Amino acid sequence: MGRAIFYYSAETSWYDFGADHPFKPERSQKTFELCHRYGLLGYPHTSVKSPSPLERKYLLFAHSNEYLDAVSRVGRGEIFEDMLRFGIGSEDNPPLKGIYEWSRRCAGATWEGIVTLLENEADVAFNPLGGFHHAHHSQAEGFCYINDLVIAIREALNRGARVTYIDIDAHHGNGVQEAFYGEDRVQVISMHESGRYLFPHTGYADETGEGKGKGFTVNIPLPPKTDDELYLKAFYEISLPLIKRFEPDILVAQLGADTMISDPLTDLMLTNNSYIKMIDELRKTCQKILATGGGGYDIYRTARCWTLAWAVLTGLDPRDEFAGLVGGMMFGPEMEVGSLYDYPYSVKGPDKEKARQEVEKTLAFLSHQFHL
């Protein structure tokens, strides 16, 4: 098993978007604590690193100067009319003090992760506080200000690597898609709840890239009530064979956990059983993986997902080191089922048949489109 690096800083996980805002950076702290509790850190091949803020010259890989100026001003506590032009000042993207510095640190972890992989210092890098896939070139969107993924992928391209980006967040990875829509050295795959039902209302199956990038963007929109079985069907029939065909040097995986059945913002009905199965397949398919967090608004379930993701990526078996201790640390998330793994769940009846029909139609279209 190769070296694996977990990027974590207590300080960045305490950053607060506000009590009413669904995005809770503390998920990364919960994940870190669970990884610790389940004995998934502290091996010779694992290490924990605190990221540094990313320099501006790298932020420019994904964003315009004027946009970065705006985020920086907002971060200093300035409120100005023009910020709305940059998507800042909405309910989703409030003008948060410190947002520029915080985003630079989140992006710093993702960037350090890809560089570490590219320089063969590690095989796995995980940044639970990364994966801001909605941020545009000059606009904040969907809780995302700085697109750490686009920056990291550009760094990989600059160093001559071929990259597959796979996004299993419940929302379409629109910011990453648009950055590489005309690029044939990056394969962008997004599996998500269809834009017909969910923000950002893009990511339809016929969005497949343009120019020399034609055929390198893959969108798999899924209907509400898609469960593990149907999601895995899409993964095995479309995503996995396309990744194998592309043969990337590096895989960048946005592991948003808002696909889970209990997520308050989406309508997909997954459990972490399918989630970790996919991560295991990805691990077997590409030797180098940069994994990031993403969405996930049921905090505890998200922390369980990411703990299991880290276990799979590092080849470790999670064991509760506190089990059986009277008065031992009681940690909310796994108590629901007494383990990190969810109970299996499948949608039944007419809901399932409706979802199945829609998924099969989409997969047939994609199989034809991509000659599978």
Q: How many CB atoms lie within 10 A of CB 118?
A: 20
**Residue 171, φ and ψ in degrees, nearest 5:** -105, 150
Contact region with Zn ion (CB under 5 A), list: 94-102, 118-126, 293-301, 341-349: 293-301
Size of the site for Zn ion (CB under 5 A): 6
Judge contact between 188 and 217, C-beta under 8 A: yes
In the bound state, the residue with its beta carbon closest to Zn ion is 295
131 near Zn ion, judged by CB under 5 A: no
Between CA 152 and CA 156 the distance in angstroms is: 6
- DSSP code of residue 23: -
295 near Zn ion, judged by CB under 5 A: yes
Dihedral angle over CA of 301, 303, 304, 307, nearest 10: 160
Edge-to-edge strand list for the sheet holding 163-167: 46-49, 4-7, 124-127, 289-292, 250-254, 163-167, 186-193, 217-222
* Active site (annotated) includes residue 134: yes
Between CA 114 and CA 39 the distance in angstroms is: 25
75 vs 131, beta carbon nearer Zn ion: 131
256 near Zn ion, judged by CB under 5 A: yes
Contact region with Zn ion (CB under 5 A), list: 254-262, 271-279, 310-318, 361-369: 254-262
Q: Which tokens in the block code for residue 133? A: 């896939």
- DSSP code of residue 147: -
Q: How many CB atoms lie within 10 A of CB 26?
A: 14
Residues linked to residue 144 through DSSP beta bridges, in sequence order: 141
Of 63, 133, 134, 172, the active-site residue reads 134
Between CA 1 and CA 45 the distance in angstroms is: 7
17 vs 43, beta carbon nearer Zn ion: 17
Which residues in the 48-107 window bind Zn ion by CB under 5 A? Answer: none
167 vs 183, beta carbon nearer Zn ion: 167
169 near Zn ion, judged by CB under 5 A: yes
Contact region with Zn ion (CB under 5 A), list: 1-9, 26-34, 205-213, 295-303: 295-303
171 near Zn ion, judged by CB under 5 A: yes
* Residue 170 Cβ vs Zn ion, minimum distance, rounded to whole Å: 5
* Residue 26 Cβ vs Zn ion, minimum distance, rounded to whole Å: 17
221 vs 295, beta carbon nearer Zn ion: 295
* Residue 180 Cβ vs Zn ion, minimum distance, rounded to whole Å: 19
Q: Which tokens in the block code for residue 59? A: 């932020």
203 near Zn ion, judged by CB under 5 A: no
Under DSSP, is residue 269 helix (H, G, I), strand (E, B) or coil? strand
Residue from the set 148, 228, 258, 358 that interacts with Zn ion by CB under 5 A:
258
113 vs 256, beta carbon nearer Zn ion: 256
* Residues identified as active-site: 134
Which residues lie near Zn ion (CB under 5 A)?
169-171, 256, 258, 295
